[in-house]
Amino acid sequence: MKSLKAMAVANNASAIITWIWDELIADCLGFSIRRIDSKTGTAVVLNSRIVKFRGEQSSTESDTDSHPIQGCKWVDGDATEGGTYRWEVIPMCGKPGHLKPGKGVTTNEVTLGFDYGPFIQACFNRGHLVSSQWLAKLLPEGPDGKPDPAALVEAINDPESEIAKFLGASLPSFVKLPYEEAIRIAGHVLSLYYELSSPDMIDYLSKNKAVWSMVLSTAGKDDETNKKARARLHKERADLTDRMLPPANLGHTKSAVLQDAKGNPVSWLLQSVNPTPTGFYAQANHGMLIRSAELARHGAEFFRRVKADCGEDPLQSADFRAKNAEVMEPIKLGDGTMVQAIFSPSTQRRSKPKVTEGEDTLPLLDLAASTAKVKEILLQAKQGIYFLAFYPGSPSFLDVCTWLQANRPELFIRGAVSSAQALPKQQVGLSNDTFPDIQRLRFGGPIQPASDVPHQVALFNSHRKTPTIISAAALQVGWQSWHSELLKLPGAHAMVHSKVIVVDPFGDDPYLLGVASDNLGLKAAIANDETMLVIRNNRPLAQAYFTHIMDVYSHYMWRYLVTTGEATFSGELDREPTWQHKYLTGRTHDEYASWVAGAA
């Protein structure tokens, strides 16, 4: 099949396989996918979950040979971390129950690892899979017939449980790397944390308190999140500095700078994940370790600025803010990767300006160093913008995405946010005719779901009704033969906690923005201790983050469509090859074609 092409991208936690074809394949009822282990040569047919052909009496778990994929993208979350794989995509032709393989195509080879060149490692968890059939089947049912959240709490408080190991992947161990290295080289770690409540992490820090110094911010009402850890570490005489900011401000940075035995900076780990059970296991999160003495020096200087500011009145003093506004020049690593760190708060004003109805919010993003840089790079996008965000507030990078959707409709824009309130409140000077649904979408979605289904939200392109920005969702009333799912833990505020934007991941000049603690909005840039990175010239790293983004986006997108009644897939496979038509041309085909062309 000459027109069939396929690609794979991956990080440590998952791989995404995408394929395109340009002409109808005779009698093809879908595609089978085989994962090929590059070390052993062993091929495994992937599971197609619980589906059936239209007219079949029952649906059970099956593989993609007998119930192939009628689409052009698949997330493989079962490949082993550390393994190297290729995937063969094979058209399955004939009639249900009598399918035969056609001529397939094999993807490029990828490793589910952490290394993206000799200087950068990145790690991702699978926290978004709290709302999954896998977890729904493992957890006992509560009185309401839905998965019991108490059982999930118990599981994630045990790092050795099957559930914790799968949801957390390697992220809980990854964030300990600077401390492990400090132990090995007799070095020292300078840590900034917003939340700290993971029993395992607290025990680890207690055991190794000689190798670190930490500034721990207040978190939650009356410091309820950190109270136990703070009291214990102070009692044990650890080198812990309290940063007790008022509720309107957050000491939001999560980072660890490694110094060698002589106090020289060695590396810097930045992360979206808070070391809490929820952060490790029940939210989508990530971390990045950069081995650069020059970059780590900037991280160490920020640590010292934050620590010194803990004695100021008021906190986040004018001098602290002025130093943060001095944006460092990008640093070139030995493999050509360019990295720039931007710190917040970087303005002398201590609160956001009020926005009048209909005001163009884009100029407001120039008030702070971080939002100005993000705006600058987004406006230069050539191919596509992909992102995950928690709660950027308004105005934020989402205002730029809204503007770009109206003015640059050729751009592919996709992302997931954690809250319905995360969408921009303003329409950046655009008329209501351009995005007539934006206000309504913020408060309920395009179709009001059943009363027992939480409201979802999406932002639509002006020229089509495909959601491009989606919020977290779960199958809470069941679907076909599927189980009801758990969306989040009681009291949890985020399912999507990663803060990252990838610009042009398959273009000639991909960018990574955010990556660390910064929520990518003006509120954070004005009120919070934050760190964000700007990274370019590292395609494998950009595509690893793209994998993380699209894994989360795809997972929640389908659940959103089912919840709102917009899903075109009913759980039954088409018995005729005409299902292919919608994948042969159109915008989705063009977007996936850009991935396939740029993945090499």
- Say if residues 52 and 573 touch (Cβ distance below 8 Å): yes
pLDDT of 377 above 80: yes
| C-beta separation of 6 from 17 below 8 A | yes
- Least confident interval from 132-146, 161-175, 287-301, 581-595: 132-146
Residues 183-207 have a mean pLDDT of 98
What is the amino acid identity at position 184? Answer: R
What are the pLDDT digits (tens) for 244-254? 999 999 999 99
**pLDDT value at residue 147:** 85
The token duo for 377 is 């790079």
C-alpha of 115 from chain center:
18
CB 402 within 8 A of CB 408: no
- Looking at the predicted structure, is the pLDDT value of residue 530 above 60? yes
Could you give the C-alpha distances from 477 to 43, 388, 396, in angstroms and in order? Answer: 36, 26, 34
| Angle subtended at Cα 562 by Cα 167 and Cα 560, rounded to the nearest 5 degrees | 60
Beta bridge partners of 217: 243
- CA atoms of 163 and 146, how far apart (whole Å): 17
Fold agreement between 5-113 and 120-344: no
pTM: 0.92
Q: What is the DSSP letter of 549?
A: H
DSSP-assigned states of every residue in 215-277: EEE--SGGGTTTHHHHHHHHHTT--EEEE---TT--B---EEEEE-TTS-EEEEEEES--SSH
Banded model confidence at residue 56, pLDDT cuts 50, 70, 90:
confident
Query: Omega before 395 cis (within 30°)?
Result: yes
Confidence band (pLDDT; 50, 70, 90) for 133?
confident
CA distance 415 to 413: 7
Q: What residue ranges in 294-372 does DSSP mark as E strands?
A: 331-332, 338-344
Say whether pLDDT at 59 is over 80: no
Using alpha carbons only, how large is the chain's radius of gyration in Å?
24
* pLDDT grade for 566, boundaries at 50, 70 and 90: low
Q: Render pLDDT for 269-298 as a digit per residue (tens, 0 to 9).
A: 999 999 999 999 999 999 999 999 999 999
The 3 state secondary structure assigned to 302-323 is HHHHHHHHCCCCCCCCHHHHHH
C-alpha to C-alpha distances, 141 to 131, 167, 484, 560, nearest whole angstrom: 14, 19, 10, 23
Residue type, 304: R
DSSP 67: S
Would you give the distance in Å from CA 55 to the centre of its chain? 38
According to CATH, the superfamily of the domain at 5-113 is Immunoglobulins (2.60.40.10)
C-alpha to C-alpha distance for 252 and 497, rounded to whole angstroms: 13
Going through 156-224 in order, the beta strands assigned E by DSSP cover: 188-193, 212-217
Report the alpha-carbon distance of residue 305 to residue 134 in Å, rounded: 45
Domain ranges (residues) in the chain: 5-113, 120-344, 362-563
Angle between helices 369-378 and 397-407 (to 10 degrees): 20
120-344 has which fold?
Endonuclease; Chain A (3.30.870)
pLDDT band at 348 (very low <50, low <70, confident <90, very high): very high
Identity at 98, one-letter amino acid code:
H
- The confidence score (pLDDT) of residue 448 equals 32
pLDDT tens sequence across 307-334 = 999 999 999 999 999 999 999 999 999 9
Of the listed ranges 238-252, 462-476, 512-526, 575-589, the least confidently predicted one is 462-476
Contact between 375 and 397 under an 8 Å Cβ cutoff? The reply is: yes
- 551 φ, ψ to 5°? -60, -50
* Structural contact between residues 280 and 153, judged by C-beta atoms closer than 8 angstroms: no
How would you write 367-426 as a 3-class SS string? HCHHHHHHHHHHCCCCCEEEEEECCCCCCEHHHHHHHHHHHCCCCEEEEEECCHHHCCCC
Residue that is written with structure tokens 């496979």 in the block = 573
pLDDT at residue number 432: 38
Average pLDDT value for residue range 91-103: 96
Token pair listed for 445: 């979605």
Q: What gap in Å lies between CA 26 and CA 91, rounded to an integer?
A: 10
Cβ-Cβ contacts under 8 Å for 462 (sequence gap 6 or more) = 405, 406, 409, 434, 435
- Residues with Cβ within 8 Å of 385's Cβ and at least 6 positions away in sequence, in order, are 378, 401, 404, 411, 412, 413, 414, 415, 501, 502, 503
- DSSP-derived pairing of the beta strands 467-471 and 458-460: antiparallel
Q: Indicate the fold that domain 362-563 takes in CATH.
A: Endonuclease; Chain A (3.30.870)
